[in-house]
């Protein structure tokens, strides 16, 4: 059974940093694209960033480019989201999600394609 567990969310001041972790079990990261999505009440999930099978195969939302970094440690079955220079508008619940890849390794960083989700972790940016 696929399981994803996020951690690392917190209250942080504007300009601060956080690192989110997503520990996965029941499957190997080798075969999956992984994504971080965020959601605020009343809105649908927004794609923050995704990472494919290969190192460097990453996609970022324009709003987080240069501030956020996604990475994966397949040996530890963990995906990370390093968030720097946080802004108030980054406040949201952040979810980790997985998408099984076919042989092409192609994927779209869109929540509608990701089939396995964690329970989320809350990030609040406020002074």
pLDDT per residue as tens, the chain (127 positions): 889 999 999 999 999 999 999 999 998 888 999 999 999 999 999 999 999 988 789 999 999 999 999 999 989 999 999 999 999 999 999 999 999 999 888 999 999 999 999 999 999 999 9
Give the tokens for residue 13.
């001041």
Query: Rounded to the nearest 5°, which phi and psi values hold at 66?
Result: 85, -10
Q: Report the alpha-carbon distance of residue 49 to residue 65 in Å, rounded.
A: 9
Q: What is the largest CA-CA distance in the chain?
A: 46
Q: Report the alpha-carbon distance of residue 88 to residue 98 in Å, rounded.
A: 27
CA 83 to chain centroid? 10
Radius of gyration of the chain (CA): 14
Give the tokens for residue 19.
């690192």
User: What is the structure's pLDDT at 53?
Assistant: 86
Give the tokens for residue 9.
């969310």
CA 106 to chain centroid? 18
């Amino acid at each position: 059974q696929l399981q994803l567990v996020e951690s690392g969310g917190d209250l942080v001041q504007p300009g601060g940093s956080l690192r989110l972790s997503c520990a996965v079990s029941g499957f190997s990261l080798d075969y999956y694209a992984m994504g971080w999505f965020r959601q605020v009440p009343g809105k649908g999930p927004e794609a923050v960033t995704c990472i494919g099978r290969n190192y460097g195969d990453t996609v970022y939302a324009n709003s987080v480019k240069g501030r956020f970094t996604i990475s994966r440690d397949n040996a530890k079955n963990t995906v990370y989201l390093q968030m720097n220079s946080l802004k108030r508008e980054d406040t949201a619940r952040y979810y980790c999600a997985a998408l099984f890849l076919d042989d092409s390794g192609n994927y779209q960083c869109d929540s509608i394609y990701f089939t396995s989700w964690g329970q989320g972790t809350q990030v609040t940016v406020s002074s």
